[in-house]
Amino acid sequence: MKNIFKTNDERIDSEHEKIFTLNRKLENQINSNSEKELKEVVKEIMNHVLFHFEDEEAHMILLDVDKEYFNRHQKEHQKIRTTCQNLVNGIKRTEIEDLQLEVNRIMIDIKAHILNFDLEIKKYVS
Ligand SMILES: [Fe+2]
Ligand SMILES: [Fe+2]
């Protein structure tokens, strides 16, 4: 993971790192694995993102972040959560090419989210 994405919070950074690693795994397997196997990797990415949002919110409470920031941040998680959940719900009916496009879009949203919201956590990390 590039340094620009680092919050300097070990727990959050390692969860972000795993999102990037799983996405690389999908990209590396896209031409070699079966549709069923690829869908498993997509589900693994989405489940990890959903887990991460929960954990990051819990962690922000522990860090005692500003309430206004927490609410604003959580609202943004909610938008991406809905996209991830819709993708998982429809995964059986979705072609792998379309899934790949949708995962790419989600990755763009996640990267922007890290830069625009998660990095603010830096302020609270001692
Ligand atoms: Fe976040
Ligand atoms: Fe995050």
Domain edges within the chain: 3-124
pTM exceeds cut of 0.75? yes
| d(CA 117, ligand 1 centre) in Å | 6
Pick the CATH number of 3-124 from 1.10.3720.10, 1.10.10.60, 1.10.760.10, 1.20.120.50: 1.20.120.50
Alpha helices in the chain (DSSP H): 10-29, 35-62, 67-89, 96-116
Residues 61-120: pLDDT tens digits? 999 999 999 999 999 999 999 999 999 999 999 999 999 999 999 999 999 999 999 999
For ligand 1, a single-atom ion, the residues with CB < 5 A are 56, 118
Q: Are 121 and 60 in contact (CB under 8 A)?
A: yes
Interhelix angle 96-116/67-89, nearest 10 degrees: 180
Q: Are 105 and 93 in contact (CB under 8 A)?
A: no
| d(CA 35, ligand 1 centre) in Å | 30
| d(CA 36, ligand 2 centre) in Å | 28
Please state, in angstroms and rounded to a whole number, the distance separating the CA atoms of residues 1 and 19: 10
Residues 1-58: pLDDT tens digits? 999 999 999 999 999 999 999 999 999 999 889 999 999 999 999 999 999 999 999 9
The CA distances from residue 63 to 59, 83, 96, in Å, are 6, 27, 40
Round the CA-based radius of gyration of the chain to a whole number and report it.
Answer: 15
